[in-house]
Structure 1
């Protein structure tokens, strides 16, 4: 049965603007993003693959490119992101590091590509590993993105990704009562599993964990969200400034959650991986039946 449509109605232009504004200071603010990437890398310890080519989809400033290159030193790596500003910042940082420390040896330099994950300008079967850290929830249609990932992988290739689930920023959502969206509409883990199957992936494995990050104030929370590019980008968000009284009411509601002097913010992290296998149907929908032509003894 096809997966139910669960499009988050993300304004992709707003996503691009938010990350362009955040690009210069992104790495200083993206502590959670780096932690989740490190946990994803640990999961690769249990997977025996040697990809010839890797696509880091939603690479941002490229924090994972070096780690992937060290793990798979013979692989060609392409970093893809929708924000040209993020790619430029990351490329300048890596160029500066190579200039300052020319004696360091490392993996080959990654190629960078500005593109929408839903329409990748990559050939079919180009990659043995598609890696995507905290990108799927920024897509207007995550199912379309997963289809592109499936197309981009070679048969036998692996998709590994992380994204945020519905409990993410639940405290923040609960504090507003103005009828507007204040966070993205995060997709359920099981819906992602259904999408993977619909796209043709085999053996999808999904799991989730909840991380709680604490802040001294609501201002500190919103500042970190802005600096990491994580502002609200849904179509139904408030376009103008919120009134002072409504803002004070929301902040007062959040203050009631203060524990040991800190305000909590939940992040539900969804992890998934799946394999691309030989197709069971061809383009017109007919099933593929493989015949064993070896002679077998009768009886």
Structure 2
């Protein structure tokens, strides 16, 4: 089957290898370009002001270069922080950044299969990682496994209106996917409940970043590792003419000041682990008789 003609639900699925490779390559350029990510992360951290929690261990899921982990030590100086990221280069950068923090441990792992014990942390925090996961229920189930009873999961992710200018401009050029299909806020809440969390609270805000050129937006996305990892992406070179057609289509969004907008729908959410977790299912064995 040609990738251009994949069913919509498959075309927007993310290629884990492509996702990881993008962030591996961006480890050295991420911090300089991640202005929006830092701002959203700061807002996420500030929301902890309203939570009474003194965690002994915190998991920073999708830790990137360690910016969130660094802020967590200022808030919880006696806590142990485990930073988890799919990209080894990001983990290495985070370990270097937090070299003076012996309570920080960087782990290269997939959030869907955490190499951690059950009930090992009181606080799970994740800044702009969930949009890179294909199956939120599976991710939240793994979070529910490693979080302690009454622990808190708090996170940010992007919603469906994110980069709509970019997506609609590319739709004028070809039929390939050029950006992720971000999950609606209500569907994120449903996934939390399906995984066993309770009392989820979700809200959203729109943030618009402006650029003097559309090329500047593309450069920033590449610098933070946010490449197009969808299965329905174009597999060849973009080509000068297709790129020019894209720039021309984006002109429809140019502002009066001559700037080009990039809209981000930011979803904030948190939910609590149940006070008593369901007991683990007993293991079943098939008896084998040896003659």
TM-score between both structures, scaled by the size of structure 2:
0.89
CA distance in 2, matches of 1:93, 1:53: 19
What are the within-5 Å matches in structure 2 for residues 195-206 of structure 1? 195-206=191-202
Deviation string 1:263-297 (CA, Å, 9 cap, x unpaired) is 0000000010000013575556xxxxxxxxxxxxx
Residue matched to 2:169: 175
Q: Report what 2:70 is aligned to.
A: 66
2:206 counterpart SS class: strand
Q: Give 2:209's aligned residue.
A: 213
SS state at 2:37 partner: helix
Look up the match of 2:118: 124
Structure 2 CA distance, aligned partners of 1:60 and 1:229? Answer: 10
| Secondary structure class of the residue paired with 1:130 | strand
Alpha-carbon distance between aligned partners in 1 of 2:14 and 2:253, rounded to the nearest angstrom: 29
Could you say what secondary structure the match of 2:219 adopts? helix
1:243-281, Cα deviation, whole Å (9 max, x unpaired): 332221211111221111110000000010000013575
Instruction: Give the superposition deviation at 1:217.
Output: 0.8
Task: Structure 1 unaligned segments of length 5 or more: list them.
Answer: 1-5, 99-106, 285-299
Is 2:39 aligned against 1:35? yes
- Matched residues, number: 270
> Are 1:234 and 2:230 matched, yes or no?
yes
For 1:1-299, what aligned pairs fall within 5 Å after superposition?
9-95=13-99, 98=100, 108-177=102-171, 178-259=174-255, 260-279=257-276, 282=279
Query: 3-state DSSP class of the match of 2:38?
Result: helix
CA deviations on 1:4-61 (whole Å, 9 max, x unpaired) are: xx88511110011101111111111111111001000111000101111100000001
Quick check: 1:9–1:141 contact (8 Å CA) kept in 2? no
Provide the C-alpha distance between the structure 2 equivalents of 1:48 and 1:158, rounded to a whole number of angstroms. 10
Change (3 A) 1:262 1:144: same
TM-score, normalised on structure 1? Answer: 0.86
Deviation of 1:70 (Å): 1.4
> CA separation of 1:58/1:276 partners in 2, compared to 1, >3 Å: closer, same or farther?
same
CA distance in 2, matches of 1:245, 1:81: 37
